[in-house]
Amino acid sequence: MKRLLASFLAALAVTAQAQAPQPPEIAARNYVLVDLTSHKTLAEREADVPQDPASLTKLMTAYIVFGALRDKKLTLEQTLPVSKRAWDERKRDPSLMFLDTTMTPKVDELLRGLIIQSGNDAAVALAEGVAGTVENFVQLMNRQAQAWGLKNTEFKNVTGMTEPGHKSSARDIAITAAHIISDFPEYYGYYAQRDYTFNKIRQDNRNLLLRRDPTVDGMKTGYTDAAGYCLVASANRDFPNGKRRLLSVVFGTATKEARASESQKLLNWGYTAFDAVKIFDAGKAIATVPVWKGEVQEARLGAADAIYVAVPHGDASKLQTQVERIDPLVAPLNKGQRVGTLRVTTTSGSPVAEVPLIVQEAVPVSGVFGRAWDSIRLWIK
C-alpha cells in the first residue's frame, strides 16, 4: 500500500488531462479532487497556491500524534496534563474541547477533541505531550512536510490560527489526508464520528457531509477570516469491481453550507464522470522476463497491489499497456526491487498512468559456472 501511495504522491502533481471531462462550476477559491483508488487528480483549481489552511492544519497535527502512537511513545489510555498554554486557547478562538488545567484527559479523548470538535486546546495538549513543547512539535510537522516534498507548506502552529508564514495548499493538504488514510487506517475512524461529548459538553462534527452522504467517512473542516470555509471530504463507494475512494479539498468557500455542497458536487461529479478500471489484480504477474546470472532464468514482475486507472466514463476500451524494464536484468534480485514501469495509455497514445514494476520473488545469484556461462552469453549478445 505504501508503494502505491508513493505513486499517488507523484500523480497528485499531474494536472488532469485536457481531454478529460470538465468539472462543474465550483464556488471555491482553490480545490482539488483526487481518486485515491487510481491515484489520479481528476480536477483542480489553483491547487498549488499557498493559502491560510485554518484548522486543516490539524490533519498534520493528528498525523504526528498517530506516529507517536505507532512508535509506542504514547498510548491511547495514557493521560496528559493540561498546561496553562492549552487552557489559554479559549482566549483566542471558540474551537475548543473546553479543557481545564485541573484535568488529565486520555490521549484517546484528546484525539477525539482534536478531530471531532476541532479543539485548539486539544491540539496544544497533544503537542506538548508528544514533543514537550509546541515549538518542538511544530518542527516535527515541518520535518514531515519536507519529507513528503510539500513545497507550499510551512507550519507555525499546531492549531491553524492565522499567523504570518503559516501556509499550505489544496494539493499539499490532499497529500497529508491521503497519508492518514493509507498509513494509519486504524485511527481513520475518528474522522467519521458525528459528535463527541467531553466534560458533559456535546459538540457535533462540523463536517456536514457525514450526515448527508452515507459514503462520506471523513475528514476535516476549517475556517478563519483569511482562509474562508474549508473542507477535506473523503467518500468510499461500492462499484462492481470494488470500492473506490475519492478525496476532495476546497478552500475559500463563503459559508459552512457552501463548503459542504461544493465538496458534495465535486465528489458526485468524480464518481459519475470517471470510471475506475482495474488493469491487473493484486499478486498477478504482469510480465515474466529473462534473468542473467541467477539461480533461475526468469523473474516475475508485478505491482505492489491491484492496479486501477481512472478514465472518462465509457473509455475503458481505449486503454493499452506497455512494459518498460531494465535489460539485461542481472541477478541477484531482491523481492520488491523496482526493475521497470508499466505505462498505461489510450489507443491514441495519451498517457493515463505509470506504475512501478517490482520483482515478485527474489532471484539469488547462481554459482561460479552459471555466472561465467551467462557472462559469455551476454558478451556474445
118 is a catalytic site residue: yes
CB 166 within 8 A of CB 175: no
Cite the DSSP H helix spans in the chain: 2-12, 58-70, 84-87, 107-115, 120-131, 134-147, 170-183, 209-212, 256-273, 368-380
**Joined grid coordinates for residue 6:** 508513493
**Joined grid coordinates for residue 44:** 483542480
Give the count of beta carbons closer than 10 Å to the beta carbon of residue 359. 21
**Joined grid coordinates for residue 53:** 489552511
CB 196 within 8 A of CB 203: yes
Nearest partner of 331 among 279, 378, 271, 283, judged by Cα: 378
Give the count of beta carbons closer than 10 Å to the beta carbon of residue 373. 14
Which DSSP string do the residues of 271-340 spell out, in sequence order?
Answer: HHHEEEEEEE-TT--SEEEE-BSBSSSEEEEE-SS-EEEEEETT-GGGEEEEEEE-SS-BS-B-TT-EEE
Catalytic residue among 95, 118, 168, 169: 118
What is the separation of C-alpha 129 from the centre of its chain, rounded to a whole number of angstroms? 25
CB 120 within 8 A of CB 93: yes
Catalytic residue among 40, 58, 156, 265: 58
CA 243 to CA 109: how far, in whole Å?
31
CA 99 to CA 96: how far, in whole Å?
8
58 is a catalytic site residue: yes
CA 340 to CA 65: how far, in whole Å?
36
Give the up-direction half-sphere exposure of residue 311: CA atoms within 13 A in the CB hemisphere: 20
**Joined grid coordinates for residue 341:** 514501469
Catalytic residue among 7, 55, 234, 248: 55
Catalytic residues: 55, 58, 118
